[in-house]
């Protein structure tokens, strides 16, 4: 069980890192095990950003992971920028091929290497520990962008480690990420079906199936909105989850309204969090808030022009 939080600035970039870290620092109360963010912004150069987790095993300390991964990536496209912080290597490159191919190549570089996110806009950073500590390691509160979703974890049935933390990238689809509060009780059944179809699961965490399921639906041609709407009937158990794509953010809530979500919206932004206290930490003024309803699905899209409106969906079911 956990805390989730999301933010989308409708017209222009904003301090997404700082806002999410402030919300997460409060939500760590509900989720002390790990903290994770999926941040969306615009790349100044290159068309792909990849966040890769490497193990901090003593054996690997001598390895120069950054150099090794850059070398592998260069075979697929020009690497514009690379950096290493904590357990992550960040690559910015030019790449127009299949994402799964690049992902597999990078992960083959060594044991414990996992691609946590890939996309034109999406960067996932997740780590054991509380928000402030994770922020200190990765400088997240300095990051500006268009939107982001985030998570603090209280592990229910799967391992407490970095890989099992949220957000989950709906690999291999660019820029789709999910964070989830609750527990999917038909996880194994759905997982087996998706594996038979050829999908790959990285962890034993039930939340991952939401990302894979949405990816599968979109692969078959569904819009994000349709895919999210269908989860309300396909997933069983308790769930309030946030999903984000390159230009949208959305949520779905289960039919029993079991896990909380408070939403606030202005002309400039929409923000949501498991508890209003977290929203208040990030936005220090009285807010118009409401709680999401049972079975509710809503998505918001970045507005490119003043005349564009937020995408709105009626309550599902």
Partner 1 sequence: MERGGGLVLVLLAIRFIGVPYTPDGFASPHEDKHKALSSTQLHPLSLQDGGDASVSTIFTIKERVCMAVTLDCATLTIREINTSIKRLALEGEREIHLIHPEARHNLGVAVFDPVTIVVEGTAGYFCGSMNDGATFHVLGNCGWSVGECMLNGEIVVERNAASGTGASIRGGTVVVKGHVGARTGVAQKGGLIVVGGDTGYMTGFMMQRGTMIICGNAAEGLGDSMYSGTIYLGGEATQLGNDAVISEMNEEDKRFLSETLAKYGLSHKRALADFKKIGSGGRLHNFSKADFELWRVAM
Partner 2 sequence: MDSEKPLVRYGQLWSPEVMEDVHVKAELGRYRIRGFSTLKKFISFDELTFVPCTLSRIPLEGYREQCTTETVLGTRFAKKPIVLKTPITIAGMSFGALSRNAKVALGRAATRVGITTTTGDGGMLMAEREASEQLVYQVLPSRYGFNPHHMRMANALEIVIGQGAKPGTGGVLLGQKVSEEIGAMRELPAGVDQRSPVRHPDWTGPDDMVVKIEELREATDWEIPIYVKIGASRVADDVKLAVKAGVDVIVLDGTEGGTAASPDILMDHTGIPTLAAVVEAKAALQEIGMDGVVQLVVSGGIRGGVDAAKALALGADAVSIGTGALIALNCNRPIYIEDYHALGTEPYACHHCHTGRCPVGITTQDPELMKRLDVDEAADRVANFINSMTMEIQMLARACGKSNVHDLEPEDLRALTLDASFVTGVPVVGTNLVFGRPDLWPQAHSNGHRDEMNHHQANGKQGKKKGKRTHEERTR
- Site residues, partner 2 (CB under 8 A): 1-3, 29-33, 154-160, 181-182, 204, 238, 258-260, 274
Q: Which of partner 1, partner 2, none binds 262 (CB below 5-8 Å, type-dependent)?
A: partner 1
CB atoms within 10 A of CB 33: 18
User: Distance of CA 156 to CAs 1, 10, 37, 111, Å?
Assistant: 6, 34, 19, 26
Whichever of 60 and 295 has its CB closer to partner 1, that residue is 295
- Complex with partner 1: residue 225 or 275, whichever CB lies closer: 275
Residue 28 interacts with, from partner 1, partner 2, none (CB under 5-8 Å by kind): none
User: Measured from the CB atom, is 86 or 260 closer to partner 1?
Assistant: 260
Nearer to partner 1 by Cβ, of 100 and 276: the residue is 276
Residues 230-269 touching partner 1, rule: CB under 8 A, are 255-257, 260, 262, 266-269
* Catalytic annotation, pick one of 1, 2, 17, 316: 2
Q: How far apart are CA 73 and CA 66, in angstroms?
A: 10
Beta carbon of residue 29, minimum distance to partner 1 (angstroms, whole number): 9
SS3 content of the chain, % helix, strand, coil (to 5): 25, 30, 45
Exposure letters 214-245 (e unless 16+ CB within 10 A, then b): bbbbbeeeeebbebbbbbbeebeebbbbbbbb
Q: C-beta of 132: minimal distance to partner 1 in Å?
A: 12
CA–CA dist 271, 281 (Å, integer): 12
2 is catalytic: yes
Q: Looking at 198-289, list the stretches that DSSP marks H as alpha helix, in order from N- to C-terminal side.
A: 208-219, 224-234, 276-282
Nearest to 38 by CA among 176, 137, 138, 132: 176
> Per-residue x/- marks for partner 1, 9-28, CB under 8 A?
---x-xx--xx--x------
Q: Which is nearer to partner 2, 101 or 111 (CB)?
A: 111
Q: Is 250 helix (H, G, I), strand (E, B) or coil?
A: strand
Q: Is 276 in the site for partner 1 (CB under 8 A)?
A: yes
Rounded Cα distance between 83 and 220, Å, is 35
Instruction: Give the residues lining the site for partner 1 (CB under 8 A).
Output: 12, 14-15, 18-19, 22, 255-257, 260, 262, 266-269, 275-277, 279-291, 293-295
């Amino acid at each position: 069980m956990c805390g989730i939080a999301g933010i989308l600035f409708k017209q222009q970039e904003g301090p997404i890192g700082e806002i999410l870290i402030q919300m997460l620092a409060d939500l760590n109360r509900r989720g002390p095990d790990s903290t994770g963010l999926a941040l969306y912004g615009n790349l100044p150069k290159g068309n792909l950003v990849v966040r890769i987790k490497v193990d901090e095993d003593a054996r690997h300390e001598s390895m120069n992971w950054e150099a090794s991964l850059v070398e592998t990536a260069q075979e697929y496209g020009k690497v514009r920028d690379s950096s290493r912080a904590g357990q992550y290597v960040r690559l910015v490159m030019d790449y127009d091929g299949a994402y799964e191919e690049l992902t597999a190549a990078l992960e083959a570089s060594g044991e414990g290497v996992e691609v946590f996110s890939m996309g034109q806009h999406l960067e996932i950073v997740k780590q054991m520990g509380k928000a402030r500590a994770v922020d200190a390691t990765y400088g997240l509160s300095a990051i500006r962008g268009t939107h982001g979703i985030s998570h603090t974890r209280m592990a229910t049935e799967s391992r407490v480690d970095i890989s099992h933390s949220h957000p989950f990238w709906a690999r291999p689809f660019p820029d789709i990420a999910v964070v989830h509060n609750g527990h999917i009780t038909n996880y194994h059944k759905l997982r087996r079906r998706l594996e038979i179809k050829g999908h790959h699961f990285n962890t034993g965490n039930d939340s991952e199936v939401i990302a894979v399921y949405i990816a599968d639906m979109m692969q078959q041609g569904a819009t994000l909105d349709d895919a999210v709407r269908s989860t309300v009937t396909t997933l069983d158990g308790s769930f309030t989850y946030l999903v984000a794509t390159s230009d949208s953010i959305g949520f779905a809530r289960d039919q029993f309204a079991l896990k909380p979500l408070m939403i606030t919206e202005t002309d400039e932004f929409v923000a949501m969090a498991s508890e209003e206290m977290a929203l208040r930490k990030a936005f220090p003024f009285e807010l118009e808030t409401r709680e999401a309803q049972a079975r509710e699905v809503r998505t918001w899209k970045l507005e490119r022009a003043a005349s564009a409106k937020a995408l709105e969906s009626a309550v599902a079911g």
